[in-house]
Structure 1
Amino acid sequence: MLPSPAEIEYFLEISKTLNLSRASERLGITQPTLSMSVKRLEQNIGAKLLIRSKSGVQLTKFGQRFVGSAQAMIEEWEKLRAIALSEKDEVQGQYTIGSHPSVALYSLSHFLPKLLHDYPKLHIELVHDISRHITEKVISYKIDFGIVINPISHPDLVIIKLAHDCVTLWTTKHNRNLNTLICDQNLLQTQDLSKQIRGSDWEFERIIHCSDLQVITDLVESGGGVGIIPTRVAEKAKGLKRYGKNPPVYEDVVTLVYRYDAQNSLAAKTIITAIKNIFI
């Protein structure tokens, strides 16, 4: 267990006075409290820091060495506190935003350029993965904010609905491969639509698996087949249209997810507001 800043500060005060009674008075705590703090510190470090005598206390050899390290730790702690306080009141710092690549195509450009322009001390890292993985990384503190599809509720997550979307079948006017379905079979949307298609008039003779929705969109644009594509992605492409009349549809919800404890700083609140305004 790491020692607390208070325990280190108490030890440093003792090292200055070499008297527990005087140190406790200067710290404004009782002597038994001070003694227990030193005992916990010694237990955590695994070495004796003080030698007690009738005239007061003396530092052990290790205690003398620890004074310099303890002072450096306190100084580093104060620097971190200063950074935290400044970031709380100013839009600055390093933040990570995660999203599926296809979601990034129709969301990031609507808020990120202005955000970066308005706040030059703000640094953003982008991570792209499937929505399920992005959500898991937000929960585990690896990503600060996620723009994801259909997240599962979690007690540590704030989930804000941004917009609705739907995944369905798309083709082009002159498509020579209408018997071919191009899709990402790992997506829940594809799996659900595949069940709806199976055994119906919509069933295809062959299926091409592709893990990149942008590549799927490009292949459909070039007449390579019929694609399972989110509507917001398909509408950014040229010449795509829904396949047939009333094709099967999977409803999506585009959301912003972040941990409850990720909204304390002004920078975090600014990012949240910028993302929430994407679809307004």
Structure 2
Amino acid sequence: MTLTQLDYIVAVDTYRHFATAAEACHVTQPTLSMQIQKLEDELGILVFDRSKQPVVPTETGQTVLAQARDVLRAARRIPEIVSESKEDFRGDFRIGIIPTLAPYLLPYFIGEFVGKYPAVSVHIQELVTEHVVEKLRNGLIDVGLVVTPLEENGITEIPLFQEPFVAYAADSNPLLDKTAVSSSDLLSDGLWLLTEGHCFRTQVMNLCGADRHSNGKTTLRYETGSLETLIKLIDRQDGFTLLPFLATLDMDATRQARLRPFDAPAPVREVSIVTHRSFLKRQLINALKQEIMAHLPPEIIGVTKGGRVASVR
């Protein structure tokens, strides 16, 4: 049994296709298939059921694959220990970040992070939370920036800061008659939401009670895939939505006038770094945390350090 063979079976499990796995491993498909066959012969079991498409692990294969991933993580940790002892930051660093954070948080720190560690090749993907967790488990990314708690087995959460929610309403909406809003003010018709799959959608629905009805009409009016689309729709139509605070900082004066804070305790979401429990690149992850915290807007730092807030899940 070799680490290369373990790499190959993990690749097939990840891509569920022998040709794609071979391409990802930079070998020919016959080479990959032969090495997997040798491993199966040595173990006396079938790791994969090749009769199904896409290919799937056998029941015993699933257990073998879980152990293979742990072995590979442990093996990759050894050179990282050496690099950390030399304070030598280099190599690939793969980050997954949810879409409701990416355009608003990344600009604050990513330039400084890349400039400080020029030997590190940073790869960033926008992913919904479910896919961040999946890619962490499969070793396809090193770290995620998401909203927590996730309560996922095998996933480590490193809280960073708390981000308040604010209401954003059209000029004609009654919410703008208030200096601050409460959750009961959000039960009226006209709520605009992100599409399913976005954790921010779930948090907004939990806060607004979007499964409830007002005047016989559902509070759900429309769904879209980006916060910027929500904002533009409200600018030109009617209704309201909730936004994370970071999404409001670059707004012009006209849009700022359409924002309303919440009464205390203000609802917030917890933003965290998440890793696999046996995560690698520990010094890089710690450096990432330090860089994010060093460049947060002062308004966010104030909320994180104290104040009357209520976490929304």
TM-score (norm 2): 0.54
User: 2:223 pairs with 209, 232, 235, which one?
Assistant: 209
Check the 8 A contact 2:172/2:238 in 1, yes or no: no
Matched residue, 2:190: 180
Partner of 2:287: 270
Given the alignment of the two structures, is residue 230 of structure 1 paired with residue 222 of structure 2, yes or no? no
CA 81–216 in structure 1, closer or farther in 2 if over 3 Å, else same:
closer
Task: Indicate the structure (1 or 2) with the bigger Cα radius of gyration.
Answer: 1
Counterpart in the other structure of 1:2: 2
**In the alignment, does 2:270 pair up with 1:253?**
yes
Shift of the 226–45 alpha-carbon distance from structure 1 to 2, 3 Å rule, reads closer
Q: CA deviation at 1:262?
A: 2.6
1:92 deviates by 0.8
| 1:219-267: CA deviation from partner (whole Å, max 9, x where unpaired) | 2344553123223323433324346985997531111111243345543
SS in 1 for 2:291: helix
Letter of the structure 2 residue corresponding to residue 259 of structure 1: H
CA offset at residue 157 of structure 1?
2.7
Aligned to 1:163: 161
Residue 136 of structure 1: how far off its partner (Å)? 3.4
2: distance between equivalents of 1:269 and 1:179?
44
Partner Cα separation in structure 2 for residue 97 and residue 131 of structure 1: 12
Q: State the Cα deviation string for residues 75-122 of structure 1 (Å, max 9, x = none).
A: xxxxx9996566443111111111112211222122210111122211
SS of the counterpart of 1:192? helix
SS at match of 2:160: strand
Relative to structure 1, is the Cα distance of residues 205 and 120 closer, same or farther in structure 2, using a 3 angstrom cutoff? closer
* Percent identity over paired residues: 19
TM-score calculated relative to the size of structure 1: 0.59
1:206 and 1:270 mapped to 2: Cα distance? 41
Q: Cα deviation per residue 1:41-99 (whole Å; 9 max; x = unaligned)?
A: 9x8499xxxxxxxxxxxxxxxxxxxxxxxxxxxxxxxxx99965664431111111111
> What is the distance in 2 between the residues matched to 1:102 and 1:3?
38
Deviation at 1:161, TM superposition (A): 1.5
